[in-house]
């Protein structure tokens, strides 16, 4: 035991947990909602699943907390799918303001990426938290940082998101990370002095996310 902030990872479906725990006191949230290939659902069910996951994540934080989504658009059945637009639609349905929006480069500018976008979006929503522009990082983050897997959030992007959450929401003591994968968001939270709670349905990933990495 180091005595620093801790983390817990629940190995379960995140949706019922989120539905049962709205407006968790002291929480902000950082997540990367599953794409169709990670959701384990028939493709036709995925848009409704995604919209419901986004809605529950937005409702999981109290009014002074921040919910941040790291989303990479993709291609599905020959069409471009904007997960960022889907998250924005879920927030608009709840009348939740967008507090900041950054683009994170996954590839150097000018790289031809053959349909898989060379960028990801960081979208932050809150009912009451705000962040003056002079306290924000750059609109375009030049580098994801180290990634543990192809769909990963990247350590630099996660650290930047957590730093901005802390500035915008000083009352935050816990970072919720539903769909936490290998736990990059949990590590970023612990390194910034926040407690962390991850939820991951894949057993092996949940076990790895419990580790210090
Ligand atoms: C986009 S990945 C997260 C990647 C993570 N941001 C990272 O950088 O390591 C989405 C994760 O959601 C998990 N997942 C999919 N459906 C889930 C569900 N219903 N409940 C909890 N986890 C789920 C997948 O197993 C996958 O690890």
Residue nearest to atom 7 of ligand 1 (CA): 152
In this structure, is residue 1 part of a structural domain?
Answer: no
| pLDDT for the residue numbered 130 | 97
Rounded mean pLDDT, 68-97: 93
Using one digit for the tens of pLDDT, what is the confidence trace for 122-159?
A: 999 999 999 999 999 899 999 889 988 776 899 999 99
Q: Residue 193 maps to which CATH number? A: 3.40.50.150
Average pLDDT, the chain: 93
Tell whether ligand 1 has an atom less than 6 A from the beta carbon of residue 182: yes
In this structure, is residue 180 part of a structural domain?
Answer: yes
In this structure, is residue 99 part of a structural domain?
Answer: yes
> At a CB cut-off of 8 Å and minimum separation 6, what does 55 contact?
90, 93, 94
Residue nearest to atom 18 of ligand 1 (CA): 13
Residue keyed to tokens 């927030």: 91
How close is the Cα of 133 to the center of ligand 1, in Å? 31
In 85-153, DSSP assigns E strands to: 98-105, 119-125, 140-141
| pLDDT for the residue numbered 200 | 98
Tell whether ligand 1 has an atom less than 6 A from the beta carbon of residue 38: yes
Residue 85's domain comprises 7-210
Query: Per-residue pLDDT for 2 more than 60?
Result: no
In this structure, is residue 2 part of a structural domain?
Answer: no
Hey, which of 122, 159, 180, 187 would you mutate to test ligand 1's pocket, going by the most ligand atoms within 8 Å of its Cβ? 180
| pLDDT for the residue numbered 1 | 41
Query: Per-residue pLDDT for 70 more than 60?
Result: yes
Q: Give exposure, 149-181, as e/b (b: 16+ Cβ within 10 Å).
A: eebbbbbbbbbbbbebbbbbbeebebbbbbbbb
Rounded mean pLDDT, 78-99: 95
Residue keyed to tokens 């599905």: 76
Query: pLDDT band at residue 194, thresholds of 50, 70 and 90?
Result: very high
Comparing CA positions, the residue from 97, 100, 31, 98 lying closest to residue 60 is 31
Comparing CA positions, the residue from 68, 98, 45 lying closest to residue 164 is 68
How close is the Cα of 97 to the center of ligand 1, in Å? 25
Using one digit for the tens of pLDDT, what is the confidence trace for 147-191?
A: 887 768 999 999 999 999 999 999 999 999 999 999 999 999 999
How close is the Cα of 46 to the center of ligand 1, in Å? 14
Contact 161, 172 (CB under 8 A): no
In this structure, is residue 170 part of a structural domain?
Answer: yes
In this structure, is residue 70 part of a structural domain?
Answer: yes
How close is the Cα of 184 to the center of ligand 1, in Å? 11
How close is the Cα of 167 to the center of ligand 1, in Å? 26
Q: Are strands 119-125 and 98-105 parallel, antiparallel or unpaired?
A: antiparallel
Number of domains into which the chain is organized: 1
Phi, psi of 122 (to 5 degrees): -115, 115
Tell whether ligand 1 has an atom less than 6 A from the beta carbon of residue 205: yes
């Amino acid at each position: 035991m180091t005595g620093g902030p801790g983390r817990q990872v629940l190995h379960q479906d995140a949706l019922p947990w989120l539905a049962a725990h709205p407006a968790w006191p002291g929480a902000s949230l950082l997540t990367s909602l599953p794409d169709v290939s990670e959701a384990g659902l028939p493709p036709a069910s995925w848009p409704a699943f995604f919209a419901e996951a986004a809605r529950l994540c937005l409702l999981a934080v109290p009014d002074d907390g921040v919910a941040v989504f790291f989303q990479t658009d993709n291609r599905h059945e020959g069409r471009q799918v904007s997960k960022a637009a889907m998250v924005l639609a879920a927030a608009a349905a709840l009348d939740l303001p967008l507090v900041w929006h950054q683009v994170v480069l996954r590839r150097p500018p000018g790289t031809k990426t053959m349909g898989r976008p060379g960028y990801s979006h960081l979208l932050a929503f809150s009912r009451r938290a705000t962040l003056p522009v002079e306290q924000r990082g750059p609109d375009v983050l030049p580098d994801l940082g180290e990634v543990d897997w192809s769909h990963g959030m990247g350590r630099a992007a996660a650290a930047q998101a957590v730093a901005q959450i802390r500035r915008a929401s000083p009352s935050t003591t816990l970072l919720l990370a539903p769909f936490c994968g290998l736990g990059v968001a949990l590590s970023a939270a612990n390194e910034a002095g926040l407690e962390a709670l991850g939820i991951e349905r894949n057993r092996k990933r949940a076990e790895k996310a419990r580790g210090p990495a």
